[in-house]
Structure formats: structure tokens, C-alpha cells
Amino acid sequence: MPHRGAAPPRPPGRPRRPAAALLGLGLVMVLAAGACGGSGPPPSPGEPSPAATMPAGPACITPESGGGCLQVAPGDRRVDLTRPTFSNPTSITNPLHPSSRLAQVLYGGQVDGKPLRTEFTRLPGTKTITWDGQQVETVVLQYLNFLDGRIEEVALDWFAQADDGAVWYFGEDVFNYADGAVADTKGSWIAGQGGPPAMIMPASPEVGNVYRSENMPEVVFEEVTVKAVGQTVPGPNGPVGGAITANELHFDGKREDKVFAPGYGEFSTGDPKGDLEVASLAVPTDARPGPPPPRLAALSAAVRAAFDAVGANHWSRASTATAALRKAWDAYRAGGVPDRLGQQMSRDLGTLAATVASRQAAAARGAALRVAQNDLDLRLQHRPLAEIDLGRLRLWARQLAVDSAAKDHSATAGDVTTLEWVRDRVRHTLDPATATRLDGQLRDLRAAADRKDLAAAAGAVPALLEALPAG
């Protein structure tokens, strides 16, 4: 899916995010006559009925700036024009888009030189969507995207697997953020309301296959061509076979390659020399048996000490804690870590040391937050996702206390927003009384953030931490 502002593309179906391409009001959509296959004569008695077809969508697109009609693939190359049927849609077994089997995929990278982070998480429950007279039950995944440590975009994506094994995208609710608040919901769409669902992954992709991962005129558009199959890519914990490379065409005529890999779904997008988003870790794919090793526990303690010292603007203590943290990281890394997580932690530790040395308060707080996020990611290899998400709630509560003390209104608002979204991932694991207390504390925080009452927001943090299970 397409670029949106500064954010990079997310994987189709998100990691989109990479994101859905928006067709602005200035775009003219030229639809091919008879693109849906036409009516044609009825079959003769005794002949099999032709397969029902899907709307083909635009045959070309013309940006307002001109440049002629941008041609797209002809129908005879498309593999998404046979109308799907859905008997067991929430059992998504397609290895290249295992939406119902993944608990969470983490992505890291950079956009415009800033650190990028995405948490792509399956939510409890399903969403039923009415399309073409069918009630289709879909799996729901939450796309939570951060740029330079701050919330940038959230989307709720809906997927279903057809009876032939292909995975279809039924739409998304998109929330784009600025200064911690929703700026707009551009890119939102739902099958059956203005257009059809879109194929996200064929059942058995072959070189030359073409399909539209978003196909709703005047709202979203992406066309995918499979370039290579049977590839091996370097995964977090070793080579991953069976990957494919696909090329995505966006409404503005730009193209980009994406890699999809078994056990991850969208694996990477972008250019290592520029904007890039790559899978850092997936669970259960990259889960490891047994408890966290002692050196990871020592690293976590060092991370907490550095985070607290930076948050208190205690520079001499922060300098000592950062040096100790570097030693703890070197000791833990010697035992082997997932490559992308190792790169992220080393990068963020370098930034933390430099900003502490130069006493750049805001930059040091951001680096300390990213280091703490990385630490939780490392623990995710060994512990249940619900436990790690509770740890993320505690981290963002502590970050809220730091940001409110720094009188940063937008960061505080963003912290509350992040807490609310992470709560949605873990609430179903809590007992009813704890869930109710957590909801109440977040309502109080939301009210304080909306009225920009930093003192009230900071004052609510202890009660929020008290409401969370110990960990």
C-alpha cells in the first residue's frame, strides 16, 4: 500500500503500511468499457456456467498534472477477477499472508532519516462485513506506526481467506495523527460501500500474476505484479525460504518492490539506502522456548535505570547509566540477537549516548524511549505477547509522566493515544475488574490530555500503573 505524507508504504494490508494510495480529488479515473466482463449470451443447456467475475476497476489513471493515461495490466493478466467464495474466511492459512496465525509482527527502518517502528497485531474478535449479499467474517489486525518514537498512524485492517486459498482485503479504518491527535482519516474504506474487496495475496503466486491490493476508484488504488517466487531472504533468526518479490504500482505512476515471506506476510519494502521498512521479529514465528536468559534480565534493568535518569534530566546519573547500559548490551548481544533488532538497539544506544553527552533533553528522551521499546521486543522472543503489551502499557505510562513534566502537550496527548490503542490489544486478557479500572484510568487521562492539563495527566499516572497487573 502506498505512501502517505512522510510515512513509507506499509505492507499491503498493511504493513502497508505501507499505506494505501490515496486517489485525490484531482485524479480522473478512466474506466474500461466492459471491464467487468459484460453480460454476454447465456450458456447453452448442459454447458458449465462461467465463473462469476469481480469488477475490474479502472483501466488507466490520469493525474491532474497531466502526462497521459497511466496504463495498468489488462484483464487477461489479472488473477483477481473471479468472484471469491468464503466458507471459513477467518482461518487464514496462506503462508504469505498468515493473518490469523500471527500474533504480532514488528517492523523497523527509517523514513526521511528518522527511525520508523510498526507494531502489526492481531486483535481479538472478528468483524462481519456485508458485500455482494454475503456476510463475510474477517480477521482484524491493528497497524500501529511510530515515526521517531511518536505515534504517526493507526489502522484497523480486515482480511478474509477465500475457499481457493487467496487472501482478500476488506478495507481499513485509518487514523492519521499530528501532534498526538487525529489529523484525518484519509485512506479509510470498506468493501461493499463504494467498491469490492481486493486481493492481498493469491493462493499460489506465480511470476507474472497481477492483482489489485486496493481497487476502489477515487479512494484507494494499488496494482501488484509478482516478479519472483521461491526466494530465500535473511530473516531475524536465519534464512527464510519460499519468499516472493512483488512490484507495486501506485496511482502516481511510481513503483516499488516488496518482499513477502512465509511466517511474516509482508517482509520488507523500500530501499536500504533510503526509506525502508523491514520485519524485525514475528511471533510465534520467531518465538524461542524457555524463559529470558539472565543477560537479558540484566539488560532490562540497565535500560530502566537509563530511562529513569534521562527522564529526570539527571545528566551525570544518565551518563553513568548509559555507559552501564552499553556494557549490558554488549554482553547480551554476544549470545546472538535477531539482526534487525540488534541494528536498531545499537543505533538507538548510540543516539542515547550522544544526546546525553550533549544534554539534549528532548532527543535523549526520545532515544531512551526507543531503547526501552527495543528491550521489550527482545523479551517478546521468550514471553507471551500479552505480557509484553502490558509492559508496553507501563512504558508509555512512564513516558507520559516524563513528557508531562517536560510540558510537552503534543507528546503527552500522543502518549495517551498510544496507551488507548495498546489497551485494545490486551484488555481481553485481563479480569473484568482490572479491565474496568484500566478503562477508567484511561478515560481520566484522555480528559486531562484533551483539556491540556499536564498536571492532571501526570497525577493520573500512579493510579494507572496501580491498575495494571504487576510485572
pLDDT at 10 over 50: no
Residue 324: count other Cβ atoms within 10 Å of its Cβ.
Answer: 15
Looking at the predicted structure, is the pLDDT value of residue 21 above 50? Answer: no
**374-398 mean pLDDT:** 97
More reliable by pLDDT, 22 or 206? 206
pLDDT band at 69 (very low <50, low <70, confident <90, very high): confident
Instruction: Please give the residue that has the higher pLDDT: either 44 or 55.
Output: 55
Residue of 346, 312, 340 whose CA lies nearest to 328: 346
pLDDT for residue 313 is more than 60: yes
Q: β-strand 198-201 against 189-190: which pairing, if any?
A: unpaired
User: Is residue 268 predicted with pLDDT exceeding 70?
Assistant: yes
Residue 53 is predicted with a pLDDT of 85
Reported as a pLDDT band with limits 50, 70 and 90, residue 326 is very high
pLDDT tens for each residue of 145-204: 999 889 999 999 999 999 999 999 999 999 999 999 999 999 899 999 988 999 999 999
Q: What is the mean pLDDT of residues 30-57?
A: 49
pLDDT of 5 > 70? The answer is: no
| Domain coordinates in residue numbering, the chain | 9-22+85-283, 294-467
Average pLDDT in the 443-464 region? 95
Inform me whether the pLDDT recorded for 388 exceeds 90: yes
Position 63 scores a pLDDT of 56
Query: Among 30-34, 97-101, 213-217, 363-367, whose mean pLDDT is lowest?
Result: 30-34
Asked whether 280 and 107 are in contact (CB, 8 A), the reply is: yes
The mean of the pLDDT values for the chain is 87
Contact assessment for residue 454 and residue 409, using Cβ atoms and an 8 Å cutoff: yes
Q: Is 412 helix (H, G, I), strand (E, B) or coil?
A: helix
Spatial contact of 386 and 332, defined as CB atoms under 8 Å apart: no
* Model confidence pLDDT, tens digit, residues 327-366: 999 999 999 999 999 999 999 999 999 999 999 999 999 9
Asked whether the predicted pLDDT for residue 279 surpasses 70, the reply is yes
State the Cα torsion 213-217-219-225 to the nearest 10°: 20
Query: Does pLDDT of 41 surpass 60?
Result: no
Average pLDDT of the segment spanning 425-443 = 96
pLDDT at residue 25 above 60?
no
Is 272 a residue whose pLDDT tops 90? no
**Average of per-residue pLDDT across 372-380:** 97
* Residues 105-143 pLDDT 10s: 999 988 888 889 999 999 999 999 999 889 999 999 999
Determine the pLDDT at residue 221.
85
Specify the DSSP class assigned to residue 373.
Answer: H
pLDDT at residue 250 above 50? yes
| Whole-number pLDDT of residue 93 | 93
- Whether the pLDDT of residue 209 is over 70: the answer is yes
152-26-13 Cα angle (round to 5): 40
pLDDT score of 14 more than 60: no
Q: How many helices (H) and strands (E) does the chain have?
A: 8, 19
- Residue 26 pLDDT greater than 60, yes or no: no
**CA atoms of 249 and 314, how far apart (whole Å):** 50
User: Quick one: pLDDT at residue 162?
Assistant: 97
pLDDT higher than 90, residue 3: no
* Statement: residue 416 has pLDDT above 80: yes
If you write DSSP's letter for every residue of 287-340 in order, what string do you get?
Answer: --SSSPPHHHHHHHHHHHHHHHHHHTT-HHHHHHHHHHHHHHHHHHHTT---HH
Instruction: Record the cell numbers describing residue 386, joined without a space.
Output: 500479552
- The CA angle 47-53-54, to the nearest 5 degrees, is 175
Whole-number pLDDT of residue 12: 44
Q: What is the pLDDT of residue 273?
A: 73
Is residue 19 within 8 Å of residue 153, measured between CB atoms?
yes
